[in-house]
């Protein structure tokens, strides 16, 4: 009998591109960074479409990696609804992945 390490990488696919999100402290830092973007957004009275899209893009980049939002939305008009949908999808995928691994031990016996 041996042991096998569990996979702690969530692969998120958007527009035929795959983004690997590794579950380590750096992910928590990036999620907190994204949360900060939205706190600033919520407290801003003069939020225009371009500025709001920019904040969504920075939040997406903070989770998936720098330049990810630019690749995802390349050739598209700035649209807050699309950006919200992508960010919600990322959140849902990360939540489902975290729930799946929450019950697993860090090391599982090999069967």
Please tell me the pTM assigned to this model: 0.74
Q: How many CA atoms lie within 13 A of 7 on its CB side?
A: 7
Cα angle 59, 61, 102; round to 5 = 75
CA-to-CA distance for 44 and 103, rounded, in angstroms?
40
CA-to-CA distance for 28 and 38, rounded, in angstroms?
16
Confidence of residue 13 (pLDDT cuts 50, 70, 90): very high
CA-to-CA distance for 9 and 28, rounded, in angstroms?
14
**Looking at the chain, how many residues does it have?**
111
CA-to-CA distance for 60 and 14, rounded, in angstroms?
12
For the stretch 35-75, pLDDT in tens is 776 777 666 666 677 888 888 898 899 889 899 999 999 99
């Amino acid at each position: 009998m041996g042991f096998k390490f569990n996979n702690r990488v969530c692969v998120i696919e958007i527009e035929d591109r795959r983004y690997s999100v590794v579950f380590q402290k750096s992910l928590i830092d990036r999620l907190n960074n994204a949360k900060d973007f939205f706190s600033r957004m919520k407290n801003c009275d003069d939020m225009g479409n371009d500025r709001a899209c920019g904040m969504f893009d920075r939040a997406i980049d903070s989770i998936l990696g720098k330049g990810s939002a630019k690749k995802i939305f390349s050739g598209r008009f700035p649209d807050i609804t699309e950006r919200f949908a992508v960010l919600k999808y990322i959140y849902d995928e990360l939540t489902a992945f975290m729930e799946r691994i929450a019950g697993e031990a860090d090391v599982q016996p090999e069967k």
